[in-house]
Amino acid sequence: MLGRTLQEVSAALKQGQITPVELCQKCLSLIKKTKFLNAYITISEEVALKQAEESEKRYKKGHSLGALDGIPVAVKDNFSTSGIETTCASNMLKGYVPPYNATVVQRLLDQGAVLMGKTNLDEFAMGALGSDTGGSTRNPAAHCGIVGFKPSYGLVSRHGLIPLVNSMDVPGILTRCVDDAATVLGVLAGHDPKDSTTIQDPGKPFMLSSLTDVSKLCIGIPKEYLVPELSSEVRSFWSKAANLFESEGAKVIEVSLPHTSYSIVCYHVLCTSEVASNMARFDGLEYGHRCDIDVSTEAMYAATRREGFNDVVRGRILAGNFFLLKENYANYFIKAQKVRRLIANDFVNVFNSGVDVLLTPTTLSEAVPYLEFIKEDNRTRSAQDDIFTQAVNMAGLPAVSVPVALSNQGLPVGLQFIGRAFCDQQLLTVAKWFEKQVQFPVIQLQELMDDCSSVFEIEKLASVSLKQ
């Protein structure tokens, strides 16, 4: 049951094949078994069971709220959850229990979803697995063989999402299949009066149509994305995907996004600047960590922030402060804004020339083993991994990573589709067609774990590496 898609589970709940409480308990059990992965910061067991019980009551009466009723969901720990600790994986917010729900969380709960807990992330979402600011919905999805969808900026409310870069952050959706992502989007999208950057339209649930004929479609392949660092395997999957579209009648053309190479640097200037600003509120006064020093307010600020933030965060704050200094502002911040405009215009031009959807890799290669991963410092790491996903955030466009195949090592690889702004539905329609063609095998975690001869060995490895 736990390996099924959202729609399948929803159907099963409706038909009574499984109850919400049973489902919830299975999920909790698996979470406990996989605890060594450290995927969850907080497991909200009591809350989840309570929600599951209420869902069950509704199903018994035949009054289910919709497709999400009783469905277990997990929320990244940078979304504010009322009464449940929200830490952003940072010491600074250890013990912080918010008094309100993020809008997206509220919308999920209003549909009867069951909140299993808060998932882990790099401190304040500042790692290579960034936040949905640089690609961290799509990158992990590609590495794990699931669907990772980033909606258009302004489509989904950011109220309650603890911000990294306000002008680029978007809540991202991770699901097993494209249809499920569409289901969740239907619940989350639409105007939120609490977020002034959302569109005015109220939004409503929708069903993705099943595309059969792609002959009217024009797929663009950005030539600047063919970089030397791209692994030959991913490159070949990309090529095969393009051929697939072509063979089914779609028009596939090479396009140019000339300012692509400036994207990462531009992102770093804008990101660190906004980070420096957004982190200014963490002073230990109103909430979160506060040091023991009480000699003076300034001393308290300094110690609190040194204790509360890790190196990466502090590094970014310092960098951001540098760019925001009066004498640097024009040369760095304003310039980066201008470059951002150029990058966004690249996409506009391409879409205006008749291209419907862009097809690119999501990552340079399959997931890299942990020990190799930690060899590079954070900034280099981000620079490398976000190369295909970053520009999309600068331009505010919708994008989705769809698993395409397993690598020679047996690890998942995904490809990315990028759509026009606010054409999320069309984008997902194309992605759904591709998904159907590709028939990527669903990961059966249960089997995987049963197969594992020594679970303890995995546990030991994981705990050793995490200590570093």
Closer Cβ to other proteins, 15 or 200, answer by number:
200
Compute the distance between CA of residue 169 and CA of residue 275 in angstroms, rounded to an integer.
12
- 43 is a site residue for other proteins (CB under 8 A): no
Q: Which of 236, 249, 257, 465 is nearest to 366 (CA)?
A: 236
Binders of other proteins among residues 213 to 242 (CB under 8 A) are none
Beta-carbon count within 10 A of 324 CB: 16
Contacts with other proteins in 260-279 (CB under 8 A)?
A: 273-274, 277, 279
DSSP 8-state code for residue 194: T
Q: Which of residues 167-196 bind other proteins (CB under 8 A)?
A: 167, 193-196
Q: Determine, following the binding rule CB under 8 A, whether residue 162 of this chain makes contact with other proteins.
A: yes
Q: Which is nearer to other proteins, 229 or 286 (CB)?
A: 286
The DSSP call for residue 189 is B
Q: Which residue, among 228, 230, 252, has the nearest Cα to 240 in the 3D structure?
A: 252
Could you say whether residue 161 binds other proteins (CB under 8 A)? yes
Confirm or reject binding of residue 107 to other proteins (CB under 8 A). no
User: Whose CA is closest to 132, among 109, 107, 101, 163?
Assistant: 163
Residues paired with residue 418 on neighbouring β-strands, in sequence order: 358, 399
Shortest distance, position 322 Cβ to other proteins, whole Å:
10
158 contacts other proteins (rule: CB under 8 A): yes
User: What is the smallest separation between the CB atom of 219 and other proteins, expressed in angstroms?
Assistant: 33
Shortest Cβ 125–other proteins spacing (Å): 12
Contacts of 104 (CB under 8 A, 6+ apart): 79, 156, 157, 160, 161, 171, 188
Residue 240: which of 221, 258, 224 has the closest Cα? 221
Stretch that binds other proteins, among 244-252, 284-292, 394-402, 420-428 (CB under 8 A): 284-292
Name which position in 46, 229, 292, 327 contacts other proteins (CB under 8 A).
Answer: 327
Region of 13-21, 66-74, 106-114, 156-164 interacting with other proteins (CB under 8 A):
156-164
Under rule CB under 8 A, residue 321 binds other proteins: yes
Cα 141 to the center of its chain, rounded Å = 8
DSSP one-letter string for 36-50? GG--EEEE-HHHHHH
Site string for other proteins, 71-90 (x = CB under 8 A): --------xx-----x-x--
Supply the Cα-derived Rg of the chain in whole angstroms. Answer: 22
Residue 333 interacting with other proteins (CB under 8 A): yes
User: CB 348 → other proteins: shortest distance, Å?
Assistant: 19
From its phi and psi, is residue 357 left (phi > 0), alpha (psi between -120 and 50) or beta? Answer: beta
Question: Please, which residue, 81 or 136, has the CB nearer to other proteins?
Answer: 81
Q: Mapping DSSP to helix (H, G, I), strand (E, B) and coil, where does residue 241 land?
A: helix
Instruction: Determine which residue in the list 40, 301, 309, 434 makes contact with other proteins, applying CB under 8 A.
Output: 301
**Which residues contact other proteins by CB under 8 A?**
79-80, 86, 88, 93, 96, 98-100, 102, 158-163, 165-167, 193-197, 273-274, 277, 279-281, 283, 285-287, 294, 297-298, 301, 321, 324-329, 333
